[in-house]
């Protein structure tokens, strides 16, 4: 195979993120994290609760500035917000006063697209996330899974080159998560965007991603492992979990992750006792 | 309880209360009138007074004046409250500078302003409108201020990541949020607009429901005072019903509106 150098979509180079808490104390959330996501690559970040996975994602989005280190997007240093990225938030981020179709169309409208055209494209995206008939509903009339679908359409209609996802399926039930996972893979296969997907669920990470990155427990979380997932594509989330290769990889990664999860758990219970 | 049973019991409450009133105001108990008609009038007298007002058409002029004053107070107070609330919320420094004065003005019982307004604006409708505005303004102001301040950071970040400029954020995020909070204070604001109008009329005017009640009181016509109160209650209930209709239309996107005052 010819060596084609794929452009690196997201590159974090020794990024350190610190917050000022209560006066002069400084809390270091992430310490010297280096990570790169190639164009078209699906990378999942897994770590114990509160380890700073979302922080890392916010750095890649440009919502947070690292205290030290560099962020490069397609080989350009990132200044301000990452305009190449679409961000799917963990919490509800839809505009509650807009209908589903208006929520999706807004991404084009603010770029100056004519409303009729924006609505037509939005309808197309709603249909591809399976909500073609729900355009006139307001977010509160939709279920949690449906809101995530609208959120996905809202992000994808702008055709971002990079997709940042912060435990997007976290609040959903197990069945809906699998359906959403398959939907995501299906949409991603159509035009491979670079994806940075944060989750606390190792199984979900292996089933979806090309690479799984493990973070240590915070504070001062580091990246402590990086595994390639060689499972063939296209994958079906529920079927891929039955495969032997999946189990071996899961066991291997879990042996590392387990210690961090216990550490993170001990720290959070200590913190709870101290307060 | 079915709707009909409920309606029946609701009507029963009125019937019993009115009957007792009529009874104790006309039939002496142990040689003494428990509700002397001079002080308490009787339901029949009150009803006939209301009937006379509507039959002669005298009441319409007063109702229209009070309605007009309330509407003006509501519109001016709301527009002012929305604009200033929005401005303060988006400019924390301005808000910080004016904060003690806003608190001071809001702490003042507004009734004491009525004589000043009468002095400045005369006995016509504008002194009543001004009183209503001072009441409505602060309710709307605080709600809008809070609404803009409490826009979910996730929704804001989402807007930014979707590529919204500050102006587009204002239009698509801050503004709808501010308006929704304004509408959730609509009932309270409308109520206060009427209070401002009526209290203003009561303290000095030549027309309006407040004037009618005040006049009746001046000649010890208790029946007309009660009649005025009943008409006023019905008037406010009607306006409130209208507000509910408007609200239902404008806040379809909200699961359950929560009012603050």
Strand partners, A196: A43, A164
The mean pLDDT value for B80-103 works out to: 92
pLDDT band at B36 (very low <50, low <70, confident <90, very high): confident
pLDDT band at B250 (very low <50, low <70, confident <90, very high): confident
Pairing state of beta strands A85-88 and A76-77? unpaired
CA A19 to the chain's CA centroid: 22
Angle at Cα B85 formed by Cα A139 and Cα B155, nearest 5°?
25
Pinpoint the alpha helices (H) of A129-173.
144-156
Strand order in the sheet with A162-166: A85-88, A162-166, A194-199, A42-46, A211-215, A223-228
Q: Share the mean pLDDT of chain A.
A: 88
Question: What are the extents of the domains in chain B?
Answer: 1-37, 41-250
If DSSP codes are grouped into helix, strand and coil, which group holds residue B122?
coil
Could you tell me the two tokens for A84? Answer: 């190449």
- Report how far residue B100's alpha carbon sits from residue A255's, in angstroms, rounded to the nearest whole number: 60
Chain A closest CA to B255's CA: distance in Å? 6
Q: How many CA atoms are closer than 13 Å to the CA of B117, on its beta-carbon side?
A: 24
The reported pLDDT for the residue numbered A274 is 65
Model confidence, pTM: 0.80
Q: Which fold has domain A1-84+173-275?
A: Rossmann fold (3.40.50)
Helix A144-156 vs helix A100-109: crossing angle, to nearest 10: 20
The reported pLDDT for the residue numbered A258 is 86
Share of chain A above pLDDT 70, in %: 96
CA B234 to the chain's CA centroid: 13
- Report how far residue A105's alpha carbon sits from residue B259's, in angstroms, rounded to the nearest whole number: 31
Of B157, B252, B254, Cβ closest to residue A63:
B157
pLDDT band at A49 (very low <50, low <70, confident <90, very high): confident
Asked if the model's pLDDT at residue B87 lies above 60, the reply is: yes
Contacts of B168-172 spanning 24+ positions with Cβ under 8 A: B168/A110, B170/B90, B172/A95, B172/A98, B172/A106, B172/A110
C-alpha distances in angstroms, A238 versus A184, A192, A232? 14, 21, 14
Residue among B91, B78, B89 nearest B193 (CA)? B78
Superfamily of domain B41-250 in CATH is MetI-like (1.10.3720.10)
Residues of A in contact with B154 (CB under 8 A): 89, 91-93
Question: What are the extents of the domains in chain A?
Answer: 1-84+173-275, 88-159
Chain B closest CA to A181's CA: distance in Å? 21
> Whose structure tokens read 């595994």?
A227
Asked if the model's pLDDT at residue A1 lies above 50, the reply is: no
pLDDT band at B261 (very low <50, low <70, confident <90, very high): very low
- Report how far residue A43's alpha carbon sits from residue B19's, in angstroms, rounded to the nearest whole number: 79
Choose between B168 and A270: higher pLDDT: B168
The mean pLDDT value for B170-184 works out to: 87
Residues of A in contact with B165 (CB under 8 A): 110
Residue B54 contacts by C-beta under 8 Å, 6 or more apart in sequence? Answer: none
The reported pLDDT for the residue numbered A28 is 85
Asked if the model's pLDDT at residue A5 lies above 70, the reply is: no
List, for residues B47-83, the tens digit of each pLDDT value: 999 999 999 999 999 999 999 999 999 999 999 999 9
Of B158, B180, B252, Cβ closest to residue A93:
B158
The mean pLDDT value for A83-93 works out to: 91
Nearest chain B Cα to A99, which residue? B253
- Report how far residue A178's alpha carbon sits from residue A236's, in angstroms, rounded to the nearest whole number: 9
Interface test with A, best of B147, B153, B158 (most A CBs within 10 A): B158
Asked if the model's pLDDT at residue A192 lies above 80, the reply is: yes
Residue among A167, A161, A164, A130 nearest A146 (CA)? A130
- Report how far residue A118's alpha carbon sits from residue A105's, in angstroms, rounded to the nearest whole number: 5
Q: How many CB atoms lie within 10 A of CB A94?
A: 25
The reported pLDDT for the residue numbered A171 is 76
The reported pLDDT for the residue numbered A6 is 67
The reported pLDDT for the residue numbered B73 is 95
CB distance from A94 to chain B under 8 Å?
Answer: yes
CB distance from A83 to chain B under 8 Å?
Answer: yes
The mean pLDDT value for B112-125 works out to: 90
> Whose structure tokens read 């309710």?
B139
Share of chain B above pLDDT 70, in %: 98
Residues of A in contact with B173 (CB under 8 A): 95
> Whose structure tokens read 């010819």?
A2
Chain B closest CA to A113's CA: distance in Å? 13
Asked if the model's pLDDT at residue B200 lies above 70, the reply is: yes
Q: Share the mean pLDDT of chain B.
A: 90
The mean pLDDT value for B228-257 works out to: 85
């Amino acid at each position: 195979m010819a060596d084609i150098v794929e452009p690196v979509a997201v590159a974090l180079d020794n990024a350190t993120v610190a917050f000022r808490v209560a006066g002069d104390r400084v809390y270091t959330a992430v310490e010297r994290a280096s990570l790169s996501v190639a164009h078209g690559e699906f990378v999942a970040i897994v770590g114990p609760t509160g380890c700073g996975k979302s922080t890392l994602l916010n750095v890649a989005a440009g919502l947070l500035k690292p205290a030290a280190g560099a962020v490069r997007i397609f080989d350009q240093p990132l200044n301000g917000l990452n305009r190449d990225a679409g961000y799917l938030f963990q919490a509800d981020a839809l505009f509650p006063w807009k209908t589903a179709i208006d929520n999706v169309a807004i991404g084009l409208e603010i770029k100056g697209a004519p409303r009729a055209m924006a609505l037509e494209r939005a309808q197309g995206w709603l249909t591809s996330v399976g909500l073609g008939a729900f355009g006139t509903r307001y977010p509160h009339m939709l279920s949690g899974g449906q809101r995530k679908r609208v959120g996905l359409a809202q992000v994808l209609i702008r055709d971002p080159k990079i997709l940042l996802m912060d435990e997007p399926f976290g609040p959903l039930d197990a069945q809906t998560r699998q359906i959403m996972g398959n939907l995501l893979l299906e949409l991603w296969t159509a035009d491979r965007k670079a994806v940075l997907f944060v989750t606390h669920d190792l199984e979900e990470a292996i089933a979806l991603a090309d690479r799984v990155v493990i973070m240590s427990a915070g504070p001062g979380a580091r990246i402590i492992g990086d595994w390639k997932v060689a499972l063939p594509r296209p994958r079906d989330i529920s079927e891929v979990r039955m495969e032997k290769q999946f189990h071996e990889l899961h066991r291997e990664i879990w042996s590392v992750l387990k210690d961090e999860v216990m550490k993170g758990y001990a720290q959070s219970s200590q913190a709870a006792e101290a307060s | 309880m079915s709707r009909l049973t409920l309606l029946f019991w609701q009507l029963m409450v009125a019937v019993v209360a009115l009957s007792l009133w009529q009874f104790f105001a006309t039939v002496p108990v142990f040689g003494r009138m428990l509700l002397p008609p001079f002080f308490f009038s009787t339901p029949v007298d009150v009803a006939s007074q209301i009937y006379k007002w509507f039959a002669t058409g005298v009441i319409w002029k007063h109702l229209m004046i009070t309605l007009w004053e309330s509407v003006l107070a509501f519109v001016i107070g709301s527009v002012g409250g929305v604009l200033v609330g929005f401005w303060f919320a988006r400019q924390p420094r301005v808000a910080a500078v004016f904060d003690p004065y806003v608190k001071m003005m809001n702490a003042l019982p507004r009734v004491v302003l009525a004589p000043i307004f009468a002095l400045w604006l005369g006995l016509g409708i504008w002194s009543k409108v001004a009183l209503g505005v001072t009441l409505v303004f602060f309710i709307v102001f605080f709600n809008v201020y809070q609404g803009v301040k409490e826009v979910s950071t996730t929704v804001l970040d989402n807007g930014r990541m979707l590529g919204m400029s500050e102006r587009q954020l204002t239009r698509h995020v801050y503004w709808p949020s501010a308006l929704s909070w304004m509408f959730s204070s609509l009932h309270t604001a409308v109520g206060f607009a009427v209070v401002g109008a009526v209290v203003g009329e009561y303290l000095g005017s030549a027309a309006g429901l407040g004037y009618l009640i005040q006049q009746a009181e001046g000649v010890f016509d208790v029946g007309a005072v009660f009649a005025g109160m009943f008409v006023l209650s019905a008037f406010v209930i009607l306006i409130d019903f209208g507000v509910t209709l408007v609200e239902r239309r404008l806040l379809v996107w909200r699961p359950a509106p929560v009012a603050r005052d």
